[in-house]
């Protein structure tokens, strides 16, 4: 409880750090915030051509561009947060060793600043839906919940990585590889329906599967959200987040000494 | 009156050596071999940076912390500002604390001056409202009005520092913790900073100030603490503490010293000072030193390698640590090279113009650039005695200040009888 009230006292610093991350991200770039959209957009085009047009990947009846962009938007947020937030403590080592503030602000503000990119991408997503004349069903209302879930998952994993990173810089080198692997075990390129029924539970152990599948499914009224899978994902996410908070609290006292 | 800061038996342990990157790997292997054992951290050598430090600082006090390099001053500061946690003991601060361990903490090169003021201010604990209200004052203090919307990476280093300090100077914490930030910047700016600190003092804030500059501690602080080897060695009036601190660095007053056995030295050892002697005009050892004496300082050294353009430096300090003067072969006299082996060189001072009192001497042997062969800080303490320099039967008093300039008085107009008064004996 005390920790929460302390966080509240430091809310302005939290705001300024997130604001700095957003501000600095596209400084001195010609395209500016367009980069937030370009990355998932280009990936979507490539996936559509490669796996859709050439590979005839089943897409549960969703047009390929929407099928891919709907999953790439949350995926891009997740992978960007893992690397930004996972490196946040190490990158801000000079702050850690010079000023006191609740350490958890650093990974959290990095995760929050990524939401700006997500919001910009969401506008493009609506444009793609409009292009295909898809009227979203009530399931689009699921998005706020899904975003919270995605945020908690990304932040939870990042907090563990960030804390580990302080002691073992190996994390820095593992991160890109980890992100790459994670993409393949998550239904981004392929629909979850491609995985045989008897392995589904196994898939649910990767909490990102349920989240991304729900993001995608909630776009088109015709497709059903896999509630069971989403519930599993929520439980695993909650477990990861709790473990992350506990681990972070336990290790944060030594950050300034060993970073 | 409530204590602003209470430090109770605080100790801080650091493990020596690097945190090896294969530690995780080793631990994993250990765990795989014996999954049921408890595997603690591998034992490494530990040092105590702080040992049982107790300290109480009253509200409104300005406390100066002095001590040698590595004595634990900075660790204490970091514990006070909650950056690092004590291994044992407890610490309590009443009120809002701001720590200033660096100027411009968190400045981001890509952000403009204005944006950095907000960022840095919030990092130091100011609210957005406070910063907005003080923005104009901060900017004019730093003198960067016309560069406010320029990214700070385009700033000169001086502007960067000024902006950083300007933000800090407008903090209004109950307790301010400051590390040597005053060591940077030009003289005019340093004066501004000292004034700002003085204002904080008169504003009833508690200030804890760590510095090597004992003269600044003497001027600014109402109390001083001397930290030695992680422990509080002395706590009291700044003048008393500083005098005691300076006195232990050098042994009792001597006019000659064997320097070869001094342990507390820095430098790579390619060349070392071995002996220092004060000689009189006839090159005989000096028994005592008086104001106005003709003195030869003979420096003995031993070089391991051939060194070209060596820079021998001698610094003389007051007993409060203020540098009075420095002699350097680099500026005063060029030595082309010294060869391996032993040698000595003389510094001839025609008139030793310091008033009676206690002085300290430091020696440096280096070349231009960052290479130091030997550094002996405050390695010799010596007294200057009063002398009857002018042959008037009255000695020059220590209460006349620090230096004296040999002089003559001339009375050029006297209503009764005009004449010349000789004030100085002709040698």
User: What confidence tens digit (pLDDT) does each residue in A66-94 have?
Assistant: 999 999 999 999 999 999 999 999 999 98
User: What confidence tens digit (pLDDT) does each residue in B265-320 have?
Assistant: 888 889 999 999 999 888 888 877 888 889 999 999 999 999 888 999 999 998 87
A170 vs B24, B122, B124: nearest CB: B24
Residue pair B198/B220 in contact (Cβ under 8 Å)? The answer is yes
Both tokens of A102, joined, read 């609740």
Residue pair B374/B424 in contact (Cβ under 8 Å)? The answer is no
Between CA B362 and CA A221 the distance in angstroms is 83
- How far does the CA of residue A14 sit from the closest CA of chain B (Å)? 9
Residues B206 and B336 in one domain: no
pLDDT at B19: 52
CB–CB contact A28 B110 (8 Å): yes
pLDDT at B391: 74
pLDDT at B236: 92
CB–CB contact B108 A96 (8 Å): no
Q: Which of B28, B42, B123 to mutate to test the interface with A (most CBs of A within 10 A)?
A: B123
- How far does the CA of residue A66 sit from the closest CA of chain B (Å)? 36
pLDDT at A249: 93
Q: On the CB side of B336, how many CA atoms lie within 13 Å of its CA?
A: 0
Cβ neighbours, 10 Å, residue A131: 11
Nearest residue on chain B to A99, alpha-carbon basis? B83
Residue B404 lies in a domain: no
Between CA B405 and CA B401 the distance in angstroms is 11
Q: Which distant-in-sequence residues (6+ apart) come within 8 Å of A22 by Cβ?
A: A113, A116
Residue B416 lies in a domain: no
CB–CB contact B106 A170 (8 Å): no
- How far does the CA of residue A38 sit from the closest CA of chain B (Å)? 23
Residue A33's domain comprises 2-258
Between CA B381 and CA B387 the distance in angstroms is 19
Nearest residue on chain A to B20, alpha-carbon basis? A168
For residue B361, give the nearest of B211, B215, B219, B246 by alpha carbon.
B246
Q: Is the pLDDT of residue B183 over 80?
A: no
Could you say which of B200, B215, B248 is where a domain stops?
B248
**Mean pLDDT over the full length of chain B:** 82
pLDDT at A235: 95
Q: By percentage, how much of chain B surpasses pLDDT 90?
A: 28
pLDDT at B276: 92
Count Cβ–Cβ pairs < 8 Å, chain A vs chain B.
72
pLDDT at B95: 85
Q: Of the given ranges (A62-66, B83-87, B394-398), which has the lowest mean pLDDT?
A: B394-398
CB–CB contact A168 B82 (8 Å): no
- How far does the CA of residue B213 sit from the closest CA of chain A (Å)? 21
Residues B107 and B243 in one domain: yes
- How far does the CA of residue B48 sit from the closest CA of chain A (Å)? 13
Give the bridge partners for B3, in sequence order: B58
- How far does the CA of residue B119 sit from the closest CA of chain A (Å)? 6
**Residue spans of beta strands (DSSP E) within B59-195:** 62-66, 88-93, 97-100, 175-179
A99 vs B24, B111, B124: nearest CB: B124
Nearest residue on chain B to A166, alpha-carbon basis? B19
Nearest residue on chain B to A167, alpha-carbon basis? B19
Residues B218 and B329 in one domain: no
Query: In degrees rounded to 5, what are phi and psi of residue A168?
Result: -115, 105
Nearest residue on chain B to A168, alpha-carbon basis? B21
Between CA B393 and CA B17 the distance in angstroms is 64
- Which residues of chain B have a CB within 8 Å of the CB of A254? 85
Between CA A187 and CA A74 the distance in angstroms is 12
Residues B194 and B308 in one domain: no
CB–CB contact A99 B23 (8 Å): no
Nearest residue on chain B to A23, alpha-carbon basis? B111
Residues B37 and B104 in one domain: yes
The domain total for chain A is 1
A13 vs B108, B111, B123: nearest CB: B123
Q: Is the pLDDT of residue B249 over 60?
A: no
Both tokens of B96, joined, read 């809002």
Residues B185 and B264 in one domain: no
Chain A touched by B130 (CB under 8 Å)? no
User: What confidence tens digit (pLDDT) does each residue in B119-137 have?
Assistant: 999 998 888 999 999 999 9
- Which residues of chain A have a CB within 8 Å of the CB of B128? 12, 16
Cβ neighbours, 10 Å, residue B366: 22
- Which residues of chain B have a CB within 8 Å of the CB of A100? 81-83, 99
Chain A touched by B21 (CB under 8 Å)? yes
Q: Which of B12, B47, B125 to mutate to test the interface with A (most CBs of A within 10 A)?
A: B125
Residue B401 lies in a domain: no
**Stretch 157-186 of chain A: residues touching chain B, C-beta under 8 Å:** 167-170
pLDDT at B189: 64
Could you say which of B183, B218, B248 is where a domain stops?
B248
CATH number of the domain enclosing B71:
3.40.50.300
**Stretch 147-166 of chain B: residues touching chain A, C-beta under 8 Å:** 151
- How far does the CA of residue A18 sit from the closest CA of chain B (Å)? 10
The DSSP call for residue B78 is H
Q: Is the pLDDT of residue B427 over 50?
A: no
Q: Is the pLDDT of residue B42 over 60?
A: no
pLDDT category, B255, cuts 50, 70, 90?
confident
For residue B40, give the nearest of B28, B27, B52, B49 by alpha carbon.
B27
Between CA B126 and CA A74 the distance in angstroms is 35
Q: Which of B11, B85, B150, B179 to mutate to test the interface with A (most CBs of A within 10 A)?
A: B85
Residue B327's domain comprises 256-385
Residues B142 and B272 in one domain: no
Residues B207 and B324 in one domain: no
The domain total for chain B is 2
**Which ipTM score applies to this complex?**
0.85
Chain A touched by B14 (CB under 8 Å)? yes
Residue B399 lies in a domain: no
Residue B137 lies in a domain: yes
Burial class of residue B341 in the structure, from the number of CB atoms within 10 Å of its CB (0-12 exposed, 13-18 middle, 19+ buried): exposed
**Residue spans of beta strands (DSSP E) within B254-370:** 256-258, 271-279, 289-290, 295-303, 307-308, 311-318, 323-328, 337-338, 341-349, 357-366
Residues B106 and B24 in one domain: yes
User: What confidence tens digit (pLDDT) does each residue in B336-383 have?
Assistant: 888 999 999 999 999 999 988 889 999 999 988 788 999 998 888 888
- Which residues of chain B have a CB within 8 Å of the CB of A23? 110-111, 115
CB–CB contact A16 B118 (8 Å): yes
Nearest residue on chain B to A16, alpha-carbon basis? B119
B85 vs A15, A28, A253: nearest CB: A253
Both tokens of B172, joined, read 């209004």
Residues B237 and B267 in one domain: no
In the block, tokens 């706020």 appear at: A144
Query: In degrees rounded to 5, what are phi and psi of residue A68?
Result: -80, -45
Residue B397 lies in a domain: no
Between CA A197 and CA A217 the distance in angstroms is 18
User: What confidence tens digit (pLDDT) does each residue in B144-159 have?
Assistant: 888 999 999 999 888 8
C-alpha distances in angstroms, B129 versus A22, A27, A100, A124, B203?
21, 26, 21, 36, 21
DSSP string, A42-104: HHHHHHIIIIIIIT----TT--HHHHHHHHHHHHHHHHHHHHHHHTHHHHTHHHHTT--S-TT
pLDDT at B408: 86
3-state secondary structure of B326: strand
Helix/strand/coil percentages in chain A, nearest 5? 80, 0, 20
**Stretch 294-333 of chain B: residues touching chain A, C-beta under 8 Å:** none
Residue B396 lies in a domain: no
Q: Is the pLDDT of residue B419 over 70?
A: no
Q: By percentage, how much of chain B surpasses pLDDT 70?
A: 85
Between CA A239 and CA A245 the distance in angstroms is 10
CATH number of the domain enclosing B282:
2.70.50.60
pLDDT at B393: 65
- How far does the CA of residue A256 sit from the closest CA of chain B (Å)? 6
Q: Of the given ranges (B162-176, B187-201, B223-237, B318-332), which has the lowest mean pLDDT?
A: B187-201
Residue B183 lies in a domain: yes
Angle, helices A105-131/A11-25, rounded to nearest 10 degrees = 50
User: What confidence tens digit (pLDDT) does each residue in B7-29 have?
Assistant: 999 999 887 665 554 556 666 77
C-alpha distances in angstroms, A194 versus A66, A185, A200, B82, B118?
18, 12, 10, 53, 51
Residues B230 and B261 in one domain: no
Residues B40 and B185 in one domain: yes
- pLDDT tens by residue, chain A, 259 residues: 677 888 888 899 999 999 998 888 888 788 888 888 888 899 999 999 999 889 888 888 889 999 999 999 999 999 999 999 999 999 999 899 888 999 999 999 999 999 999 999 999 999 999 999 988 778 888 999 999 999 999 999 999 999 999 988 889 899 999 999 999 999 999 998 888 888 877 888 899 999 999 999 888 877 888 898 899 999 999 999 999 999 999 999 888 888 8
Q: Is the pLDDT of residue B243 over 60?
A: yes
Could you say which of B197, B232, B248 is where a domain stops?
B248
């Amino acid at each position: 409880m005390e920790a929460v009230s302390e966080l509240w006292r430091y809310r302005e610093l939290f705001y300024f750090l997130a604001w700095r991350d957003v501000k600095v991200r596209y400084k001195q770039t010609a395209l500016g915030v367009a980069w937030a959209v370009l990355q998932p957009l280009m990936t979507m085009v490539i996936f559509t051509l490669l796996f859709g047009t050439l590979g005839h990947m089943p897409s549960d009846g969703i047009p390929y561009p929407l099928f891919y962009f709907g999953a790439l938007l949350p995926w891009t947020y997740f992978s960007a947060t893992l690397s930004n937030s996972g490196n946040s403590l190490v990158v801000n080592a000079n702050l850690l060793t010079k000023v006191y503030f609740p350490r958890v602000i650093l990974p959290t503000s990095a995760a929050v600043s990524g939401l700006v990119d997500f919001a910009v991408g969401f506008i493009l997503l609506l444009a793609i839906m409009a292009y295909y004349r898809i009227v979203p069903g009530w399931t689009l209302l699921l998005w706020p919940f899904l975003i919270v879930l995605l945020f908690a998952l990304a932040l939870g994993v990042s907090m563990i990585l960030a804390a580990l990173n302080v002691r073992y810089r190996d994390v820095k080198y593992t991160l890109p590889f980890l992100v790459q692997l994670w993409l393949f075990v998550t239904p981004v390129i392929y629909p979850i329906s491609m995985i045989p029924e008897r392995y589904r539970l196994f898939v649910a152990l990767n909490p990102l599967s349920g989240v991304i599948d729900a993001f995608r499914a909630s776009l088109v009224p015709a497709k059903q959200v896999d509630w069971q899978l989403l519930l599993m994902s929520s439980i695993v996410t909650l477990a990861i987040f709790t473990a992350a908070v506990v681990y972070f609290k336990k290790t944060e006292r030594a950050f300034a000494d060993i970073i | 009156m409530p204590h602003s800061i209470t430090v109770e038996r605080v100790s801080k342990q650091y493990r020596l050596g690097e945190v090896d990157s294969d530690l995780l790997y080793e631990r994993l292997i250990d765990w795989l071999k014996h999954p049921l054992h408890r595997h603690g951290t591998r034992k490494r050598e530990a040092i105590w940076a702080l040992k049982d430090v107790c300290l109480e600082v009253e509200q409104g006090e300005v406390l100066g912390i002095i001590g040698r390099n590595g004595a634990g001053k900075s660790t204490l500061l970091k514990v006070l500002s909650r950056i690092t946690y004590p291994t044992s003991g407890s610490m309590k601060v009443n009120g809002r604390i701001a720590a200033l361990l660096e100027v411009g903490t968190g400045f981001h090169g890509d952000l403009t001056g204005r944006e950095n003021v907000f960022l840095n201010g919030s990092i130091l604990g100011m609210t957005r409202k406070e910063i907005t209200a003080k923005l104009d004052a901060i900017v004019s203090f730093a003198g960067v009005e016309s560069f406010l919307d320029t990214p700070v990476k385009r700033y000169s280093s001086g502007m960067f520092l000024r902006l950083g300090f300007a933000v800090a100077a407008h903090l209004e914490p109950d307790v301010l913790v400051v590390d040597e930030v005053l060591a940077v910047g030009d003289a005019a700016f340093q004066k501004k900073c000292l004034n700002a600190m003085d204002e904080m003092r008169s504003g009833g804030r508690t200030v804890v100030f760590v510095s090597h500059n004992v003269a600044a501690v003497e001027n600014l602080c109402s109390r001083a603490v001397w930290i030695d080897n992680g422990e509080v060695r002395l706590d009291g009036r700044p003048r008393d503490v500083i005098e005691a601190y300076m006195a232990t660095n050098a042994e009792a007053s001597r006019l000659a010293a064997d320097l070869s056995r001094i342990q507390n030295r820095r430098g790579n050892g390619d060349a070392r000072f071995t002996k220092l002697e004060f000689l009189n005009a006839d090159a005989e050892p000096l028994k005592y030193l008086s104001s106005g004496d003709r003195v030869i300082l003979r420096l003995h050294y031993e070089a391991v390698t051939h060194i070209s353009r060596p820079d021998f430096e001698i610094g003389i300090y007051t007993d409060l640590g203020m540098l009075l003067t420095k002699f350097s072969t680099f500026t005063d006299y060029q030595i082309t090279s010294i060869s391996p082996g032993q040698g000595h060189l003389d510094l001839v001072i025609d008139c030793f113009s310091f008033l009676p009192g206690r002085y300290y001497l430091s020696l440096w042997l280096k070349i231009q650039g960052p290479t130091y062969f030997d550094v002996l800080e405050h390695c010799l303490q010596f007294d200057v005695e009063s002398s009857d320099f002018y042959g008037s039967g009255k000695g020059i008093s220590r209460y006349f200040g620090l230096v004296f300039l040999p002089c003559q008085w001339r009375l050029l107009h006297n209503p009764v009888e005009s004449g010349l008064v000789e004030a100085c004996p002709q040698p």
